[in-house]
Structure 1
Amino acid sequence: MLEPRTRPRDLARRHMRTAPALSLAAVAALLVGGAASPSASAGPVRAAAVPVRLDPGYQQAPFEGWGTALAWFANVTGGWPDAQRNRLADALFGADGLGLTIARYNIGGGDSPTTEPYMRAGAAVPGHWKQPDPDTPDGWDPDNPDHWDPYADGNQRWWLKAARTRGADTFEAFSNSPPYFMTRSGLVSGAVDPWQDNLRPDQYERFAAYLAGALQRVQNSTGVTFASVSPVNEPGTAYWRAGGLQEGSHWAPDSQARVITALRAELDRSGLRTAVAAMDETDPDMFRANWDSYGSTVRSAIGRLNTHTYGTSGRSGARDIAKGSHTPLWMSEVDLGGRVPQNFTDMSPALDLAERISDDLTRLEPRAWVLWQAVEDYENMTPAHENSNWGLIQTDFTPANAAEEPLRKNKKYWAMAQYSRFIRPGARLIGTDSSHTLAALRPGGQGAVVVHTNPTGSARTIALDLTGFRDVSSAPVQRYTTDATRNVRREADVSITGKHLTVTLDPRSVTTLVIPGASGVDPERTTPAAGPRLLVNDHSGLALTAAPPGAGSALVQNRPDPFEPAQQWTLTRSVPGDWSSTASYRVTNAGSGRALAVADGVLTLSPPGPSAQQQWMLSTSGDGHHTLVNSATGTLLDVTGASTATGAPVGAYRPNTGRNQSWTFRGNPSGR
């Protein structure tokens, strides 16, 4: 997580198994607010309805869950009186709380015991080593059991067990810094020069052994199994500096590559099948830049891709990198302080968080969404300090009496519950054409969940188009609302008419609709529609065209002509009935009968066949624009050089988030 004082106030500070579907009884236990009650929103329509179309024909991979990093708050509260720490654990992981199922455990580096404390409350996470001889710190030997403290960091370990007891089933370990005796500065907060790597060049293998050894010992003492371990955190930044308030280290791209491969080798040597996650960069654009620098050996050592979304630019690039490399992707850390001072009833921070969740899941397509620490230091958030709204719960990390310290839930907590209580592990996020609407199929495909954010000061009526579903019964739709006065309160049920649902939502609210009778996919309503289509580039406005024989390129762009066979393309699913967002298509030209392919890195046309070189995955955020990702190479259909010229060549290139890689399907002169 980023130090708040190192970046502008308007930017955020930093930072596999599928759980079973909840029973109806468990869902009921997750809900708060008592019996259903009528709401003003159930009254007559007050404005023109905003149309929202759901597309179950675009289904993301099964969702792995919602989570939080443990880190600082666990380092503090894991040592609190039993009743108090259990109240906190219930609020985060319990069935009556948020129902989180993912916990990220911070493997602390640990400063020297002789260093005067200088970090913020909770940030000095203990290391797992026993103190080496001060005169010979390089004498610490990871292969010597006597050089380890097998029970270090008991407070975070308590949280691992508490989370597992309450149903969490996915655990990741992550590192912010190597131990002090492996660093250049002698401090785990970073190098003296924040652009310099803090790990000494001769310490890579020893650091990898430290991570693997700590992971193994924590697993043995807690009974949890880590699915993954992340060796670096926000590596390409200058946030980390000697004497800073938290652990951190810069890692140049070649250093990232070296530690990733060293860790993979050490895990293998130790007999651990734990995946290496990388690289937990600050935002998707920086993530993509790091990934582009990795060679094939480094990429093959990564079992899961992690990115943070403190910056939001470039989500589509990270999404398509994950699809093209056939590697699962997590949004592994973010939080927002909000635009208002510390406040526990204002909806502004909650609405900001809800929009971030919806945008991340729609545009990034991660398999998990993980908050930076869900519990923040109340004192540090007061007007005398940061005066902000980090965390979902705030409590004093240095209380006079921990047993009686208040656990203050802000509106962000309840906004998070609008998602985490209803979109459960195993659900599949589906397409929508509304940036304010997130939708998912419930685990098993029976029923759907819609979460809509109304950030405006007026009531908003939405008209949900459910015609994309094969079946929609008339079963009542449950409605739950969080606003300035309500916390996930169940309101009056809503009725469906045919395959349409109209509901009015209150101002500055987050509303969850549970539609139990929606299931299946109507193939006639899927996108792209059947039949020949034009592929029009969103940057140039020109259409993909099969060039005549003898042209310099097999594919070019030309002025759109829906009656030109060389511009007509038919997309055929490789597996009929595969509605996943990674479904592959053959893209066949009507004029030549040949299929779009990438051969030896070159975009070409080939006789139709089963080769992965002819298979393309479609990505979209529901706005009608698509990227086409080649299944064999991970490259995207791309207008070379972002040219807007008629006749310019079209090729295949790695994801770059440019509009020259974005395409719209068009069927006739009217554009429909």
Structure 2
Amino acid sequence: MPGSGRSPRTDSAPRPAYRAPRPHRPAATLAAAMSTVLALTTAGTAAADAPGAADTSAATAIRLDPSYQQPEFEGWGTALIWFANVTGHWPEEQRAALADALFGEDGLRFTIARYNIGGGDSPETEPYMRAGGAVPGHWHRPDEFGPPDDPDEDWQEPAGWWDPADPEHWDHDADAAQLWWLEAARQRGADTFEAFSNSPPYFMTESGLTSGNTDPARDNLRPDQYEEFAAYLAGTVEHIEGDTGIDFASLSPVNEPNTDYWEAGGRQEGSHWDPASQARIVSAARAELDRRGLDTPIAAMDETNPTLFRTNWESYGAQTRADIGRLNVHTYGTDGRAGPRDIAKGSDTPLWMSEVDLGPSGIPQDFDAIEPGLALSERITDDLTQLEPGAWVLWQAIEDYENMRPDRENMNWGLIQVDFTPEDAATEPIRMNKKYYAMGNYSRFIEPGAHVIADDDPDTVAATGRAPGRVVVVHTNPSGAARDIDVDLGGFASVAGGATATPHTTSASRNLEEGAPIAVDGDHLRATVEAGSVTTFVIDGAEGVDPGQALIRPGSEYGLTGSASGLDLAAAEDGTVVQTGTPDGDAGHWTFQPAGDGWDSRTQYTIANAATGTVLSADGGELALAPPGSGADQRWMVSTTGQGEVTVVNAGNGLLLDVLGDSRDEGAPVGVWRPTTGANQVWDLAGAD
């Protein structure tokens, strides 16, 4: 959650009503010495303790499974927001160096930028937010609705003055700093942009402040302002697209909505939305975009963790779900990633991990400690393998150095830290921490268009590259000792003779340092990775899929054993589906037949019982065995983290195979239910032939 828990809230909310004008405080004299953006280090040969070939029977075995390929990866990125609001006004050379570090070819090569549509507090509200937090709104209040030249304390702004149809009520140049960053990202190769909102403008809120309601558990948007807020969001998108030529891939109208983080007087914009309110603004925004002839998809709901995401989604009706073109979730909490994953599959909707950062990783502000980099790497690995997002987007990649100092928050938020209120922005140092380089272990090598594939090691993420024959393996070794690894490439159709793997290491002593190529031995890559390190291996020469090594071999028989009960899925004599410890012959054997070609994590299968020839069906939300047909109720998708356990998702209604009542009893009925992330929906898949 951006900022939650990072700084204490103010003791009292600033007054949103009229205050006498205060003298303008001169901008702080911008000073400090700027360091040149650090180039990502490469070395032509490996150092003595760099990753190298290993030959040991005690190696950590890692099996890659290219038969389970996630959809095309869309890219890596960052929200712009506070840092862009600050640094977009800096001298050209300095802000360009920062943009190069994030989006440039020699930087992190981010291709996604999330643009924040600021709400904006009243001109009469005394500034109270953190540096950069007061993102300007796109509205303009004509003088006739503002205070008179000599107002008294009883002056009140007229209600309902804003008219979205009146061009004089808009100011699309107010946010020039963040708009500079939007264009800078595009010039450096970014091609995917999202507009998102943290709060409506002050004049649409209950509290009169964009930081939230006085009661943080209550909505802040006034009930009569849904259509106006939808017009504000859609109008901003329409104008930016027309003015810049940038097309927004999505519009996200709410952020971390079903929480009590956002309180009037907090140091950043935010707003509570209960699930019914979320649904209402999603539909209002969709209708307004349609009215303006914009096909921009709605993204929702940018909830703070997978569990709250699932709670919100389950409350939505069919029309609200249909109005959502992409699902966004944050992973500030990490339990239950399988929920959004299977919801996305069952609803046939793309999914992003659209915001996270790790500041409180147990290490005080430190630019040389590897621990924050290891923590970030582990979060990325878990997100990619458990959540299966189409994109991974960081909360603001550049943080306020002064706010992170030991006498303040003393944390490692951001990949780069600069002083947001420097004496001299032209000479302000650009400070990369180890998270910056650990991020590069992913963003520089797993490119848009790649496919993340399954593997059986929790410290590893792997992907096929865009280039034929390229495979990228990122392994995190958080331990205090060097580790031998043995990467099994036998799941690929072919591994070329002479194939090599080039390592790139981030550790306490290395910043994405390139090592000497390691020869692949047959279909095995054996290497030693440094203690406390993130190592990316770029393998050239492995491609295709060996069907005989696939997770699911079409036409082969499998058993499904309940993870919670230890009992097998079986066809009962009365034609129902039950769990049993002693399935009668082929009654516990199941044949998976794909509906099409390819090796996709969203491939749909019919699942036939080997004894009866009938297939699993979820028609009407009830599990049954039925004669084979062509309906979506008889097609199923399999989800896995690559370590033997699966969930089974119905393509027609998004429900999962579920041991009803979480029973451990012999003969207990198996049905279908919405994703719960419970063990009674998890199955061990094993070959039965």
Q: Look up the match of 2:362.
A: 339
1:164 aligned to 182, 186, 192, which one? 186
Q: Look up the match of 1:14.
A: none
TM-score by length of 2: 0.92
2:593 aligned to 572, 579, 582, which one? 572
Cα offset for 1:547?
1.5
Q: Within the alignment, does 1:533 sit opposite 2:554 as a pair? A: no
Q: Distance in 2 between matches of 1:583 and 1:619?
A: 10
**Does structure 2 conserve the Cα–Cα contact (< 8 Å) formed by 1:6 and 1:239?**
no
Q: Look up the match of 1:259.
A: 281
1:192 aligned to 206, 209, 214, which one? 214
- Deviation track 1:613-670 (CA, whole Å, cap 9, x = no partner) reads 11110000111000000111111011111111111111111111001000112345xx
- Deviation track 1:439-479 (CA, whole Å, cap 9, x = no partner) reads 00001553100000000010000001100000111222111
Deviates more, 1:53-62 or 1:601-610: 601-610
Q: Look up the match of 2:136.
A: 126
The one-letter code of the counterpart of 2:588 is Q
**Does structure 1 conserve the Cα–Cα contact (< 8 Å) formed by 2:2 and 2:395?**
no
The one-letter code of the counterpart of 2:557 is P
**Does structure 1 conserve the Cα–Cα contact (< 8 Å) formed by 2:499 and 2:542?**
no
Change (3 A) 1:30 1:5: closer
The one-letter code of the counterpart of 1:74 is A
Deviates more, 1:658-667 or 1:413-422: 658-667
Q: Distance in 2 between matches of 1:449 and 1:511?
A: 10
Q: Look up the match of 1:457.
A: 480
Cα offset for 1:398?
0.1
**Does structure 2 conserve the Cα–Cα contact (< 8 Å) formed by 1:151 and 1:221?**
no
Deviates more, 1:403-412 or 1:123-132: 123-132
1:448 match: secondary structure: strand
Specify every segment of 5 or more residues in structure 2 that has no aligned partner in the other structure, as ranges.
9-37, 147-156
Q: Within the alignment, does 1:389 sit opposite 2:412 as a pair? A: yes
**Does structure 2 conserve the Cα–Cα contact (< 8 Å) formed by 1:39 and 1:492?**
no
Alignment of 1:97-176 (within 5 A): 97-132=107-142, 133-134=145-146, 135-176=157-198
Q: Look up the match of 1:292.
A: 314
Q: Within the alignment, does 1:582 sit opposite 2:587 as a pair? A: no
The one-letter code of the counterpart of 1:422 is F
Q: Look up the match of 2:438.
A: 415
Q: Look up the match of 1:73.
A: 83
The one-letter code of the counterpart of 2:608 is T
2:623 match: secondary structure: strand
Q: Distance in 1 between matches of 2:43 and 2:475?
A: 22
Q: Within the alignment, does 1:546 sit opposite 2:574 as a pair? A: no
2:501 aligned to 477, 480, 489, which one? 477
Q: Within the alignment, does 1:95 sit opposite 2:105 as a pair? A: yes
Cα offset for 1:283?
0.3
**Does structure 2 conserve the Cα–Cα contact (< 8 Å) formed by 1:347 and 1:483?**
yes
Q: Look up the match of 1:621.
A: 641
Change (3 A) 1:71 1:560: farther
Cα offset for 1:216?
1.4
Number of residue pairs the alignment of both structures matches? 644
Q: Distance in 2 between matches of 1:299 and 1:654?
A: 14
1:317 match: secondary structure: helix
When the two chains are superposed, the root-mean-square deviation of aligned CA atoms in Å is 1.6
- Identity level (%): 58
Q: Distance in 2 between matches of 1:409 and 1:47?
A: 38
Cα offset for 1:45?
5.1
TM-score by length of 1: 0.94
Change (3 A) 1:85 1:30: closer
1:640 aligned to 660, 667, 670, which one? 660
1:316 aligned to 338, 343, 349, which one? 338
Q: Distance in 1 between matches of 2:659 and 2:289?
A: 42
1:626 match: secondary structure: strand
Q: Look up the match of 2:93.
A: 83
Q: Look up the match of 2:290.
A: 268
**Does structure 2 conserve the Cα–Cα contact (< 8 Å) formed by 1:537 and 1:543?**
yes
- Deviation track 1:405-427 (CA, whole Å, cap 9, x = no partner) reads 00000000000000000000000
Q: Within the alignment, does 1:596 sit opposite 2:616 as a pair? A: yes
2:527 aligned to 483, 490, 503, which one? 503
Q: Distance in 2 between matches of 1:255 and 1:233?
A: 12
Specify every segment of 5 or more residues in structure 1 that has no aligned partner in the other structure, as ranges.
9-28
Q: Within the alignment, does 1:35 sit opposite 2:44 as a pair? A: yes
1:654 aligned to 674, 679, 682, which one? 674
The one-letter code of the counterpart of 1:326 is D
Q: Within the alignment, does 1:610 sit opposite 2:619 as a pair? A: no
Q: Distance in 2 between matches of 1:84 and 1:324?
A: 46
Q: Distance in 1 between matches of 2:347 and 2:525?
A: 39
Q: Distance in 2 between matches of 1:207 and 1:634?
A: 32
1:484 match: secondary structure: coil
The one-letter code of the counterpart of 1:350 is G
Cα offset for 1:534?
1.5
Q: Look up the match of 1:373.
A: 396
Q: Distance in 2 between matches of 1:124 and 1:615?
A: 49
Q: Within the alignment, does 1:5 sit opposite 2:5 as a pair? A: yes
1:522 aligned to 537, 546, 551, which one? 546
Cα offset for 1:47?
7.7
Q: Look up the match of 1:330.
A: 352
- Deviation track 1:229-268 (CA, whole Å, cap 9, x = no partner) reads 1000000100000000000000000000000000000000
Q: Distance in 1 between matches of 2:520 and 2:43?
A: 24
1:510 match: secondary structure: strand
Q: Distance in 2 between matches of 1:479 and 1:427?
A: 19
Q: Distance in 1 between matches of 2:137 and 2:128?
A: 16
The one-letter code of the counterpart of 2:5 is R
**Does structure 2 conserve the Cα–Cα contact (< 8 Å) formed by 1:2 and 1:239?**
no
1:331 match: secondary structure: strand
Q: Look up the match of 2:151.
A: none
1:217 match: secondary structure: helix
Q: Distance in 2 between matches of 1:486 and 1:386?
A: 27
Deviates more, 1:222-231 or 1:60-69: 222-231
Cα offset for 1:217?
1.6
Cα offset for 1:179?
0.2
Q: Look up the match of 2:471.
A: 448
Q: Distance in 1 between matches of 2:130 and 2:274?
A: 26
Q: Distance in 2 between matches of 1:314 and 1:78?
A: 37
1:373 match: secondary structure: coil
Change (3 A) 1:151 1:367: same
Q: Look up the match of 1:403.
A: 426
Q: Distance in 1 between matches of 2:177 and 2:452?
A: 35
**Does structure 2 conserve the Cα–Cα contact (< 8 Å) formed by 1:37 and 1:491?**
yes
- Deviation track 1:476-499 (CA, whole Å, cap 9, x = no partner) reads 211111111111111111111111
1:227 aligned to 249, 253, 258, which one? 249
Q: Distance in 1 between matches of 2:582 and 2:195?
A: 51
1:600 match: secondary structure: helix
- Deviation track 1:275-317 (CA, whole Å, cap 9, x = no partner) reads 1000000000100000000000000000000000000011001
**Does structure 2 conserve the Cα–Cα contact (< 8 Å) formed by 1:528 and 1:665?**
no
- Deviation track 1:301-345 (CA, whole Å, cap 9, x = no partner) reads 000000000000110010000000000000000000121000000
Change (3 A) 1:43 1:256: closer
The one-letter code of the counterpart of 1:402 is A
Q: Within the alignment, does 1:348 sit opposite 2:371 as a pair? A: yes
